[in-house]
């Protein structure tokens, strides 16, 4: 007598749980798990799907592969309500759950029809499945992953522990990922573009001020600093020191700002000040009389 094994949860098994063994064995019609060739124009991407960034070079390489050998893996979709007032010839519409990158590449490759498998799920469940698919493929960049974790926690009322169990990750991984959402938007964009790694981003989180953090991120990118160098620089910034280790005082201007003030003063013939606050600020141009102001304006507008 063979020993019975405990069945695994469907989500723990990933998208394999959604796909039938073959198209021939799929149920008839267009219900749950049915497989058929679908006109590509009847498929629409999921709104707010986890993956937001698609590498153009990689997308074109996949499109070329599809031109040569076709689409080898079906897209996972769910049926959506038809468009009100649309002609019957328009047919049903299907929202992508998994495979947007393959769908985009198939469009580039000129495919008219693609193989799809239909999953009968709610929009919320569809997002969860899309999330799991991307996590299992390691398709999301660190910021997309953090935003997806955050959305799942809010929309499904998960704790970090429950979410970790649901997607097969350690709770510490979830917590560290969510910390990345504390980064300023401009720094998050650098991570999404691949200019900064997740290691760089975590190192930068040591800096409490968003303005200082954004400046430091720019310096890391321009200087192509390693994660270790970034950690050291972030620590010095947090402790109130300049990059060379000398202490700073509140309001002290950097050498580059002072140099720019000097150049402006020479160019306009009067004292100029730059007041910066976290990457935003103003330029003050001093004048002693209206004649002096006219002279400055003449230099600016000439």
Residues designated catalytic: 100
Helix (H) / strand (E) element for 201: namely helix 198-204
> Measured between alpha carbons, how far is 278 from 215 in angstroms, rounded to an integer?
8
Distance (Å, rounded) from C-alpha 210 to C-alpha 187?
A: 9
In whole angstroms, give the CA distance from residue 89 to residue 299: 67
Alpha helices in 120-192 (DSSP H): 123-137, 142-156, 160-167, 171-179, 185-192
Distance CA 72, CA 53 (A): 23
Q: Using an 8 Å Cβ cutoff, are 79 and 121 in contact?
A: no
By DSSP bridging, strand 272-277 and strand 43-44 are unpaired
Q: What residue ranges in the chain does DSSP mark as E strands?
A: 35-39, 43-44, 75-80, 93-98, 113-118, 272-277, 280-285
CB 94 within 8 A of CB 11: no
Please provide the DSSP assignment of 5-24 as one string: -PPPPTGGGGGGGTS-S-GG
Q: DSSP code of 37? A: E
232 CB-near residues (< 8 Å, 6+ apart): none
What are the tokens at 42? 């009847």
């Amino acid at each position: 007598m063979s020993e019975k094994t405990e069945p695994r949860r469907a989500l723990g098994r990933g998208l394999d749980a959604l796909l039938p063994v073959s198209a021939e064995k799929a149920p008839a019609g267009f219900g749950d798990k049915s497989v058929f060739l679908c006109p590509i124009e009847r498929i629409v991407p999921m709104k707010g799907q986890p993956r937001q960034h698609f590498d153009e070079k990689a997308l074109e390489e996949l499109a070329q592969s599809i031109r040569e050998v076709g689409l080898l893996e079906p897209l996972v979709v769910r049926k959506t309500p038809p468009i009100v007032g649309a002609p019957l010839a328009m047919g049903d519409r299907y929202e992508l759950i998994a495979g947007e990158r393959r769908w985009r590449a198939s469009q580039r490759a000129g495919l008219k029809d693609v193989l799809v498998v239909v999953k009968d799920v709610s929009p919320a469940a569809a997002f969860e499945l899309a999330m799991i698919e991307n996590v299992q493929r390691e398709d999301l960049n660190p910021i997309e992953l953090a935003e997806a974790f955050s959305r799942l926690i809010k929309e499904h009322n998960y704790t970090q522990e429950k979410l970790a169990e649901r997607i097969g990750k350690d709770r510490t991984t979830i917590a560290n990922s969510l910390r990345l959402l504390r980064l300023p938007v401009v720094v998050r964009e650098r991570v999404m573009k691949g200019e900064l790694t997740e290691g760089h981003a975590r190192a930068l989180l040591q800096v409490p001020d968003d303005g200082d953090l954004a400046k430091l991120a720019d310096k890391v990118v321009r200087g192509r600093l390693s994660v270790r160098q970034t950690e050291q620089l972030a620590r010095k910034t947090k402790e109130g020191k300049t990059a060379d280790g000398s202490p700073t005082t509140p309001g002290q201007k950097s050498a580059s700002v002072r140099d720019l003030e000097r150049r402006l003063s020479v160019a306009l013939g009067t004292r100029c000040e730059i007041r910066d606050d976290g990457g935003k600020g103003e330029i003050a141009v001093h004048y002693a009389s209206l004649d002096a102001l006219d002279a400055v304006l003449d230099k600016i507008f000439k």
